[in-house]
Copies of this chain bind each other. A is one copy, B any other.
Amino acid sequence: MEIKQIPDQKAFSPEKMKKVNLFETDRMFTDIYCFEPGQVQKPHTHEGADKIYCVLEGRGRFQVGREQRHLGPLEITLAPSGVEHGVVNDGPGRLVVLVFMAPHPDAPRLPHPP
């Protein structure tokens, strides 16, 4: 039984937003993303995979589709498959986000329905 204490897993880089993997299977991954002030996850899209962002610490501006909203601790949102999404830490403090993505982007996919 593998247990992780999220506060112990936080790691920041002066270069760019740091992703720390907590758990990974063939079906999903669970990460924390750690942003210094001003760091970003550039808007991008995953076809066929959904992402959950749950803020644990700090505040940031989250984009899903054309909309942008500020989220703080224990606010959670979904970036569905095919919808552009990204994050900007435009606040004065650090931002830590729990991220869940399924399926794992490297996993084999079911064929599209006809």
Chain B residue nearest to A109 (CB atoms) is B110
Q: Interface of A with B (CB < 8 Å)?
A: 1-7, 22-23, 25, 27-28, 30, 49-50, 52, 54, 56, 62, 64-65, 67, 69, 71, 74-78, 80-81, 98, 100, 102-103, 108, 110
Partner of A25 from B6, B67, B78 at Cβ < 8 Å? B78
Q: Are B2 and A78 within 8 A (Cβ)? A: yes
Q: Is the CB of A5 within 8 A of B74?
A: yes
Least Cβ–Cβ distance between A33 and chain B, in angstroms? 15
Checking B27, B69, B108 against A1 with a beta-carbon cut-off of 8 angstroms, the contacting residue is: B69
Expressed in whole angstroms, the Cα–Cα distance for A4 and B64 within the complex equals: 14
